[in-house]
Amino acid sequence: MTTIPMEPQQEERLRAAFDATVARHDRIEPRDWMPDAYRGTLVRQIAQHAHSEIIGMQPEGEWIGRAPSLRRKAILLAKVQDEAGHGLYLYSACETLGVSRAELTDLLLGGRQKYSSIFNYPTLSYADVGTIGWLVDGAAICNQVPLCRTSYGPYGRAMIRICKEESFHQRQGYELLMTMMRGTGEQRAMVQESVDRFWWPVLMMFGPPDAHSPNSERSMAWGIKRNSNDDLRQKFVDMTVPQAEALGVTLPDPELRWNEERGHHDFGEPDWEEFAAVIRGDGPCNAQRLAHRRAAHEEGAWVREAATAFAAATAQEGAR
Amino acid sequence: MSADRREWPLYEVFVRGKRGLNHVHVGSLHAPDDAMALRHARDVYTRRNEGVSIWVVRADAITASSPDEKDPLFAPNGDKIYRHPTFYEIPDDVPHM
């Protein structure tokens, strides 16, 4: 989108209109004036979110061929297809801010935009498919439900669609784990081992503690974010504890206990150095995930070229 | 630039949720041509019986009012409150009004 230089008074007037819209919790729409920093923050956040959905297809996708029954394969395929769809909703929302799909793809493939740290952890056992549905998608729902009311219209609308579908993701995961917990001792151990591995990285999905989250305050003022990282993390822990009990697994945190006074669970601190390392690119699967995404993009080039050539040929025929 | 680096045109997608309802805008997507846009729209926007009919239209074919003109554009009806039924005072005991 082109920016035309304007009179200071005019900019002042537009800024006041923008501030008033945000203050009354109304939505900003694509062709409204918005501060450059608001636009930049949204592009970064929505793109990162879109990339997470697309990269997020990989850890579970690895298990489609190895799912133990046709029913489980069909469920997993549908779920991974949903992740692709979520990525597309979000890329479309991001493009309304004036960036192109090609730019966003390049930024991901070039490692210049991030995606959620959780997808840099491997899926070592089939139980991980269940744990991802239950805990990873459960945490995503906690993060995403408030985003349905975010101040940027297209982002909020994309989140509403996504949240409706995430509920299936979480429930299929929990049901998968329940089935395994009714199985052999070996299967139960597999579930516990998977939960042990994922618990802390899942808590990191909410981002750094509020005191170390530099952009949070401004995003909240703009109505992009509606809740702080620590509040959402607390909410997730409180929701998850009874689910873990019902499932019969132990959450691997010796400090986890109900605090009557606060009316919430107390819990331990995730390893923020590990989080920083994964964000930096030093997680267990960062290189693998990006390499896989790049290969898929390059190997799919002929399909895009063929579709473009076919469209051009048909258009020419139609013109004759 | 190879062919695949050229962006496919942007399409806006409208879905009729069920018979009797209007088509409603649900989002957008890129496609090389109209037929592929329709096919992609089905896969992206109607995976769970969200619709019985889809329209796709190239975004560059849409003419939209500008948000800057909002006030002058909609001003003509702003002061015509007599267009609303509540403008007219009818005694409470008159039935079916």
**Averaged pLDDT, A190-194:** 98
Q: Which residues pair with B15 in a beta bridge?
A: B24, B54
Is there a contact between A310 and B33 if contact means CB atoms under 8 Å apart? Answer: yes
> Any idea which residue has 């995430």 for tokens?
A166
What residue in B sits closest to A13 (Cα-Cα)?
A: B68
Q: Which residues pair with A265 in a beta bridge?
A: A258
Mean pLDDT of chain B: 88
Instruction: Out of A82, A92, A161, name the one closest to residue B29 (CB).
Output: A92
pLDDT tens profile A289-315: 999 999 999 999 999 999 999 999 998
Q: What ipTM was predicted for this assembly?
A: 0.88
pLDDT score at A4: 63
> Any idea which residue has 């516990």 for tokens?
A192
> Mutual orientation of helices A70-95 and A36-55 as an angle, nearest 10°?
160
Say whether residue A81 is in contact with chain B using an 8 A CB cutoff.
yes
pLDDT score at B1: 38
pLDDT score at B31: 97
Q: How far is CA A127 from CA A200, A212, A267, in A?
A: 17, 33, 24
**Is the pLDDT confidence value at B89 over 70?**
yes
Strands (E), chain A: 257-259, 264-266
Which residue in A92, A317, A61, A259 sits closest to B44, CA to CA? A92
Mean pLDDT of chain A: 95
Say whether residue A167 is in contact with chain B using an 8 A CB cutoff.
no
pTM above threshold 0.90: yes
Quick one: DSSP state of residue A162?
H
What value does the CA radius of gyration of chain B take, rounded to a whole number of Å?
Answer: 21
pLDDT tens profile B28-50: 999 999 999 999 999 999 999 89
Instruction: Out of A78, A85, A315, name the one closest to residue B44 (CB).
Output: A85
How near does any CA of chain B get to the CA of A224, in Å?
20
pLDDT score at A304: 94
> Any idea which residue has 């190879």 for tokens?
B2
pLDDT tens profile A27-81: 999 999 999 999 999 999 999 999 999 999 999 999 999 999 999 999 999 999 9
pLDDT tens profile A81-108: 999 999 999 999 999 999 999 999 999 9
**Is the pLDDT confidence value at A5 over 70?**
no
Is there a contact between B10 and A95 if contact means CB atoms under 8 Å apart? Answer: yes
Q: How far is CA B36 from CA A298, B8, B13, B23, B41, in A?
A: 21, 11, 12, 19, 8
| pLDDT band, very low/low/confident/very high, at A277 (cuts 50, 70, 90) | very high
Interface of B with A (CB under 8 A): 2-8, 10, 26-30, 32-33, 36, 43-44, 47-48, 64, 66-67
pLDDT score at A2: 56
